[in-house]
Chains A and B, each alone.
Chain A
Amino acid sequence: MFSRTKKIYFQAVLVVVCSTSVNTVHADKPVIEIEIRDHLFWPSEVTVPANTKVKLLVYNKDPTSEEFESYELNREKVIMGNRKAVIFIGPLLPGVYPFFGEFNPDTAQGKVIVE
């Protein structure tokens, strides 16, 4: 029983690692690029198709860090200065999903429009 438990546990770990690697090869999703400049999102509105997983490539062109934050999208991601981050969203129902920069919430505002 002792060794069987260990075997099952490590087999499960192996299955997870392998399945994740296979999925990486076949990842193919719409890509949308967003820039952060002067504590603003460019563009501040992006339109994505409903019920589709989308890859957001967010480039932070400012020298300081910013956090892409959206409770509606269930995403928060710190992007260090002069770096980029990948954020996957969806599949989403049609609607408007606001996001903002947690470190500069007064200026860094945007929305994802799903239609």
Chain B
Amino acid sequence: MSILKEMFFLFRTVGRPSLFCLLCCYQGAVVADGTAIDKVYHPYVQPQEREIEFRSIVENNSDASSGDERIYRLGYGQSFTDRWFGEVYLIGAKNDDRGFRLEAYELEALWQVTEQGEFFADWGMLFELEKEHSEEVFELATALLVEREWRRWTGTANVYGIYEFGEDIDNEFETAMALQGRYRYVRQFEPAVELYLGQDTKGLGPVVMGSLPLGGARQIRWEGGVIFGLDSSTPDQTFRILLEYEF
């Protein structure tokens, strides 16, 4: 019962004006090519942090003739200061028609704007530049990262502005959003609910995550979940996993 009460408190408080302001951004969403389901970023950076990250999504779409689409990301990241973290990714993909192929490269920078707990919410920004491997297609994205805690609950919002450009694509501006409500049950196991919104994506589903300390600065973080499509353009289910080794 206490969890239900806290849940009610969480969603009642989320209606604060600043988060409403962010939600307004989504109203003008144009086209978001591909899926917006990936992961939810948190606006925090630790100095001297390094990590190797693997994450994957599998789209199970009964309407797709090419079967399940699988996307893989392998990344290496490290912090440069106590406020900036950078990461580079190789992105691969495969489906029933095409075997595994290198799809794109991505550079990412995360900026922790405020100290955790200093204001009513914690703020950060994410900057991404992605280049398709075999096409002259670029994607430049910025995202506002917002997180707030309510006792054992935390709510996180990522609001993206995305600009696609290049010789092989019509230049366009898009928006997307990811929301996460997480219950900090124990360090190794934290249940969450995630909502993803984009022009071609409307998905909602349960996720579990946790971390396992290995001593010193080393730890393993993991996430896994399934996001159910809420409209016909979103895959029926999107399974996502993340494994991260921090050292």
Binding site for B on A (CB under 8 A): 1-2, 4-6, 8-10, 12-13, 15-17, 19-20, 23, 27, 53, 65, 67, 71, 74-78, 80, 85-90, 93, 102-103
Contacts and interface: CB of A to CB of B under 8 A. Distances in A.
21 contacts: A2-B30, A4-B28, A9-B28, A9-B159, A12-B144, A13-B142, A13-B144, A16-B21, A16-B113, A16-B123, A16-B146, A19-B18, A20-B123, A23-B119, A53-B117, A71-B186, A75-B116, A78-B48, A78-B217, A80-B47, A88-B118
Provide the main secondary structure of the chain A interface.
Answer: mixed
Contacts of A12: 21-22, 24-25, 144, 159
B18 A5 contact: no
B149 A74 contact: yes
Given A15-B18, A19-B18, A103-B216, A75 B29 contact: no
Contacts of A8: 24-25, 27-28
A74 B154 contact: yes
A2 B170 CA distance: 13
Interface of B: 18, 21-22, 24-25, 27-30, 46-49, 82, 113-119, 123, 125, 142, 144, 146, 149, 151, 154, 159, 161, 172-173, 175, 184, 186-187, 213, 216-217
A9 B82 CA distance: 27
Nearest to B125: A13
Nearest to B186: A71
B183 to A, nearest CB: 12
A16 B175 contact: no
B104 to A, nearest CB: 23
Contact of B25 (A9, A17, A93, A102): A9
In the A-B complex, list the 8 residue pairs whose CB atoms are closest, starting with the nearest.
A5-B28, A88-B117, A9-B161, A88-B118, A78-B46, A78-B47, A9-B25, A71-B187
Given A16-B123, A89-B117, 13 more contacts: A5-B29, A9-B161, A10-B161, A12-B144, A15-B18, A16-B113, A16-B144, A19-B18, A77-B46, A78-B217, A80-B48, A86-B118, A103-B217
A74 B114 contact: no
Contacts of A9: 25, 28, 159, 161, 175
B114 A20 contact: yes
Contacts of A23: 118-119
A10 to B, nearest CB: 8
A102 B216 contact: yes
A106 B82 CA distance: 26
A75 B117 contact: yes
